[in-house]
Amino acid sequence: MSETMEIIIGVTVLVGVYMLTRRVNAWRIKRAFVGIIKDLERQKAFEPSSAVKLPYAKAAFFRLGTRDFRPKALEYLVASEIVGITESGKYYLKRRDVGPLFPGKT
């Protein structure tokens, strides 16, 4: 096999691995979104008076295992005004009609 062909195959594999990791991370973030929304629905946190503390709201500095996407997903949900936060740091679901945002949500 020529050197040029090896370089082309190497670059193609590198691009493929990059695209695969991006897709896996997007899937894991979507799972985090759905998990947070289900958690708030299960705890019936639909308004500021029924807001709840979420243990994964802050990222842990020292944590073993795979990366936890829930803190970043929660930040995004708060910024998108899907989830609200009280002054005391508790969270509640502002919008109950999030089904169209996550078509695969079950």
**The dihedral of CA 33, 39, 44, 50: what is its sign?**
negative
Task: Please state the rounded mean pLDDT for residues 31-38.
Answer: 90
Angle between helix 70-79 and 3-42 (nearest 10): 70
CA-based nearest residue to 40, from 2, 6, 86, 9: 86
The whole-angstrom distance between residue 10's C-alpha and the CA centroid of its chain comes to 31
Sign of CA dihedral 30, 36, 42, 48: negative
CA distance 67 to 28: 10
What's the residue count for the chain?
106
Amino acid at 27: W
Q: Residue 105: pLDDT above 60?
A: no
Architecture of 3-101 per CATH? Orthogonal Bundle (1.10)
Residue 106, pLDDT score: 43
At 41-85, the pLDDT tens digits run 999 989 899 999 988 877 666 666 677 788 888 988 999 889 999
Q: Does 16 score more than 90 pLDDT? A: yes
The pLDDT, as a whole number, for residue 104 is 55
Its pTM stands at: 0.73
